[in-house]
Structure 1
Amino acid sequence: MRKEVAIQNWKKARGYALKLVKDIPENRWFEIPKNNYSNLLWQFGHVLASEYRLALLRVRGENESDKSFIPSDFISTFAKGSHANSTIAYTVKELFNIGELLAETIEKESNHWDDSFLLQKVEGDIHPMFSFRIEALEYSALHDFLHCGQIGIIRRQLGFTSLG
């Protein structure tokens, strides 16, 4: 049941992120509004990079097939500590394509994760927000929603209406 709730919340967060950006013209995604440090392209790319790291890497480790939808420089481009800038070489369309393949992979693979698998400790570096695989999956949705707030602020700063 806990896995189902985590996946359901991740789907809600992903859906909300898509709703926030779907009506923004591509040329506005690169703008960094006055009194802000970020743009839509970086925020949305960061959401995707984090979903990959939290909902896949931290849960089941890296698979060779990941390279088919996550370019080699994607994580470093949008990782914590990276910055929005005009040299990011990804287009909005590329981000949507990566996001779609990522979502398909998470949904497909999560069907095979049972409680005994998800209640194991994550491998790799310690994270301050979770210790177990199920917690990494749960945190993915929370992290997405956090960045939805930032996307919403940028959306308003660009002159678009807020969404409920």
Structure 2
Amino acid sequence: MDTRIEIVLKQLEFARGYTLSLLADVGEGDWFAMPGGVSTHLAWQMGHIAMAEYGLCLFRQRGRTPEDLQLMSSSFRKQFSRGSTPEPDPAKNPPIEEIRKTFDAVHQQALTELPTFTAATLDAPCDFPYAGYPTNFGSLLLASHHELLHAGQIGLLRRLLGKSPVR
């Protein structure tokens, strides 16, 4: 396996572990809370992380496959894409179970497929956004950075919900 893939896998696993630690003690009743005028909620953060990980780690690397619709519907991608506005009404969002299932399934699929990517795939140029390199490898690096950026927002939301910081 390419050393670059090993680096990306470790970064993705670290980012996901940290994100999950932030969510571990937050009840589903708080997933759509937007405390103190904050313009986002936990459910949107999770949906957005899933959508971005799909885009950066799967779609950019190998295009869309027929199986991808089982990972994430096109309506899910649109609702949680960059520039979308978090919808505060739970009834206008996918159910929490679907958000969580998509969040987990996309991550697992990325971890499964990453070891199959070749050096040629990693070295292929890509458009922004990416981290460090304007290549598919840079896109993969961005996935963990992006998740950690949103983990910071999740951390703020949990504090506004009265939770203690995670150490």
1:140 to 129, 139, 143: 143
How big is each residue's C-alpha offset from its partner over 1:76-123, in whole Å with a ceiling of 9 and x where there is no partner? 10111111121542122212211222122112211211222211113x
Cα pair 1:48 1:99 within 8 Å, conserved: yes
Task: Report the counterpart of residue 118 of structure 1 in structure 2.
Answer: 122
1:153 to 145, 151, 156: 156
- 1:14 equivalenced with 2:16 (yes/no): yes
Cα pair 1:55 1:137 within 8 Å, conserved: yes
TM-fit CA distance, 1:128 = 4.2
User: Relative to total residues, which structure has the larger helix share, 1 or 2?
Assistant: 2
Letter in 2 for 1:127: F
TM-score by length of 1: 0.92
- 1:103 equivalenced with 2:107 (yes/no): yes
Runs (4+) of structure 1 moved beyond 3 Å? Answer: none
Task: Report the counterpart of residue 129 of structure 1 in structure 2.
Answer: 130
How big is each residue's C-alpha offset from its partner over 1:17-70, in whole Å with a ceiling of 9 and x where there is no partner? 111112211111111011311111111111111111111111211111101110
Letter in 1 for 2:41: N
Count of aligned pairs: 161
Could you tell me which runs of 5 or more consecutive residues in structure 1 were left unpaired when the two chains were aligned.
Answer: none
Structure 2 Cα separation of the partners of residues 101 and 152 of structure 1: 23
Structure 2 Cα separation of the partners of residues 39 and 96 of structure 1: 14
Task: Report the counterpart of residue 60 of structure 2 in structure 1.
Answer: 58
TM-score by length of 2: 0.90
Letter in 2 for 1:65: E
Cα pair 2:53 2:143 within 8 Å, conserved: yes
Distance change (3 Å), C-alpha of 1:2 and 1:98: same
TM-fit CA distance, 1:6 = 1.0
Q: Map of 1:65-76 to 2, 5 A cutoff?
A: 65-76=67-78
Structure 2 Cα separation of the partners of residues 67 and 140 of structure 1: 20
